[in-house]
């Protein structure tokens, strides 16, 4: 009987690990406007993300790399957008089957929002940014880059 219970617990633990693995949105994702690609990667037990591709990586007038010009911190306004972190601190919540309690930075306006990520399909990711409550916010749908 002990062997059966141990085997059952082992099977359930392995199965749960497999389920959790399928909900990890690691990889490169294209935003729904087609303007950028974001690589989502592990940072410890959390998920983070950075800009890895921009449709227009240089300023049209100068030909120099686009910078984080709208950052509220003047010292960071000279940081190039390419490879800049934009997602941080996302923790997996098995009860909601999504990555929550993170933040997303929008370089187009310099604002940081609370966010969560939820797989909406094998290659489709819901990214919801919000202030305060997640019911009030905006969802974007990113597609996996192959």
| pLDDT at residue 10, rounded to an integer | 40
Q: Which domains does the chain have, with CATH numbers?
A: 25-144 (2.40.128.520)
Single pTM value for the model? 0.82
Residue range 73-90, pLDDT digits in tens: 999 999 999 999 999 999
DSSP track, the chain: -HHHHHHHHHHHHHHHHHHHHHT---EEEE-TTSSEEEEEEEETTEEEEEEEEESS-B-TTT-SBPB-TT-SSGGGTTSBSTT-EEEEEEEEETTTTEEEEEEEEETTTTEEEEEEEEEEETTEEEEEEESS-TTSEEEEEEEE--
The share of the chain scoring above pLDDT 70, in percent, equals 85
């Amino acid at each position: 009987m002990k062997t059966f219970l141990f085997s059952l617990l082992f099977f359930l633990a392995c199965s749960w690990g497999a389920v959790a693995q399928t909900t990890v949105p690691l990889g490169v994702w294209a935003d729904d406007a087609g303007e950028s690609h974001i690589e989502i990667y592990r940072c410890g037990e959390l998920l983070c993300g950075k800009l890895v591709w921009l449709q227009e990586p240089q300023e049209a007038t100068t030909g120099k790399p686009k910078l984080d010009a709208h950052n509220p911190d003047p010292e960071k306004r000279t940081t190039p957008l390419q490879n800049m972190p934009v997602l941080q601190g996302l923790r997996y919540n098995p009860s909601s089957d999504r990555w929550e309690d993170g933040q997303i930075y929008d370089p187009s306006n310099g604002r940081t929002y609370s966010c969560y990520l939820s797989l909406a399909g094998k290659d489709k990711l819901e990214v919801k940014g919000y202030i305060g409550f997640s019911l009030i916010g905006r969802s974007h749908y990113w597609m996996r880059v192959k």
